[in-house]
Amino acid sequence: MMHIQTLILGAGAAGMMAAAHSGPGVVIIDHAKAAGEKIRISGGGRCNFTNIGTTPAQFISQNRHFAKSALKRYTQWDFINLVSDYKIAWHEKTLGQLFCDDTAKDVVAMLRAEMDKAGAQLMLNTSISDIAHDGTHFIATLTRDGTETAVTATNLIVATGGKSIPKMGATGLAYQIAAQFDVDVITPRPGLVPLTFSDDRFKLLAGVATPSNVTTNDTTFSEALLFTHRGLSGPAILQASSYWTEGDAITVNLIPTADLYDKLRSARTTSPKKALTTIMSQHLPARLIDYIKDEFALHGNIADHSDVRLQAICADLASWDLLPSGSEGYRTAEVTLGGVNTDALSSKTMGVKSVPGLYFIGEAVDVTGWLGGYNFQWAWSSGWAAGQAI
Ligand code: FDA
């Protein structure tokens, strides 16, 4: 029998952060063969580890106030200082997104070093079963290489993430533990995920990217849109997908910079004999214009089109309504929306109000960030908050 102070389930971003801040007597387990695997592959191998502009406004939750406390107490600047202390070089790519100059492995190594400094014991290739609570302690069985060890712990921090990318070890264990302890779970669903269409309508456009505004359920994102074999992707769609549920339409504005009308009018004066599609291909991808020319009636020479007609074309391009049939699902979703209902948790400690010593952190909780480093910031902030409480 192993007696410890704190057992942490999941050595991902949130679990490692908590392990580094939970004081002595910490064991952190993971069924994977390495810690921080999502960190390692994130941001194309360079890890978009936070966002300079992080505020609670970039997080989705049934309780939009819940994330405020943790984000305020452990901020993006705290994590930037930590990264800088470890002399990990970083740069801002776009929209406040910070990436490692070199490799995401530096962030994993930094967290491993912080855990070592705190004396936390990491057990990989380890699974957990038979979790119970005897009123004072959590009791469980850990299994590694076929050997079972019974463990008792005063605190149990659940940091096993959501359901996204099962191939990387996502299991939904957090939801099972929540159910066992009568903690409500908001139905999980894939977020930051490409949207699909049941027909092959965009197959011919696969690989074409264009600036856009994408709106769904009154929320608009201005970023790139990417056509794929199965539908739509790119940052604008990934962001919108977190606000989209099956049956909802999306509206795509293909001319977000809004001066196309003026450009078409002036082309009508300077090059009246040019085809409308030729002129438009100077401002939008030619393959896209070729694809939409029938749907938007982009026929004839530019000189054939009155101001009213040009205005109508621009209006159509600015409000292209589409009805996705689904999403690529957990197979490729970067995050899981929903999760442990924040009503059950203290926003200061991430502790379950009705079960002293039980904590949920990171993606397992019903707090989901936008694309752009916000989800790691939530993992750092919530992991730190739980660690401080122990
Ligand atoms: P995380 O999923 O990181 O960790 C959970 C851990 O629990 C894993 O190590 C898993 O093996 C373990 N586990 C699960 N079930 C278990 C079980 N039954 N027994 C034992 N262990 C178990 N975010 C961002 O801010 N910037 C970015 O650049 C990216 N990029 C990115 C790329 C890709 C491809 C994905 C899939 C995701 C991102 N994200 C991201 C999102 C980010 O990775 C995610 O929000 C955090 O990793 C969540 O941290 P957690 O620690 O909560 O879960």
Q: To test ligand 1's pocket by mutation, which of 40, 142, 334 has the most ligand atoms within 8 angstroms of CB? A: 334
**193 CA → ligand 1 middle, Å:** 15
What is residue 257's predicted lDDT score, i.e. its pLDDT? 84
Q: Tell me the percentage of the chain whose pLDDT exceeds 90.
A: 99
* 172 CB near ligand 1 (under 6 Å): no
**196 CA → ligand 1 middle, Å:** 24
Question: pLDDT digit string (tens) for 342-378?
Answer: 999 999 999 999 999 999 999 999 999 999 999 999 9
Question: pLDDT digit string (tens) for 127-140?
Answer: 999 999 999 999 99
Q: Which residue is closest in CA terms to ligand 1's atom 25? A: 373
* 47 CB near ligand 1 (under 6 Å): yes
What is residue 357's predicted lDDT score, i.e. its pLDDT? 98
* C-alpha 54, offset from chain centre: 14
* Residues in the chain, total: 390
Average pLDDT (79-96) is 97
**312 CA → ligand 1 middle, Å:** 46
Average pLDDT (315-344) is 97
ipTM at complex level: 0.99
Q: Tell me the percentage of the chain whose pLDDT exceeds 70.
A: 100
DSSP-assigned states of every residue in 155-219: EEEE----SS-GGGT---HHHHHHHHTT--EEEEEEES--EE-SS-TTGGGTT-EEEEEEEETTE
Question: What is the rounded average pLDDT for all residues in the chain?
Answer: 97
**71 CA → ligand 1 middle, Å:** 18
Q: Residue 87: which pLDDT band, with cuts at 50, 70 and 90?
A: very high
Question: pLDDT digit string (tens) for 206-245?
Answer: 999 999 999 999 999 999 999 999 999 999 999 999 999 9
Question: pLDDT digit string (tens) for 236-292?
Answer: 999 999 999 999 999 999 999 879 999 999 999 999 999 999 999 999 999 999 999
Instruction: Enter the tokens of residue 337.
Output: 């929306």
> For the whole model, what pTM was predicted?
0.97
**303 CA → ligand 1 middle, Å:** 55
What is residue 55's predicted lDDT score, i.e. its pLDDT? 98
What is residue 96's predicted lDDT score, i.e. its pLDDT? 98
* 76 CB near ligand 1 (under 6 Å): no
Q: Which residue is closest in CA terms to ligand 1's atom 24? A: 373
Position 153: which residue type? Answer: A
The neighbouring-strand residues paired with 148 are 143
Q: Which residue is closest in CA terms to ligand 1's atom 37? A: 334
% helix / strand / coil in the chain, to the nearest 5?
35, 30, 40
Question: pLDDT digit string (tens) for 28-73?
Answer: 999 999 999 999 999 999 999 999 999 999 999 999 999 999 999 9
Contact call for residues 111 and 122 (beta carbons, < 8 A): no
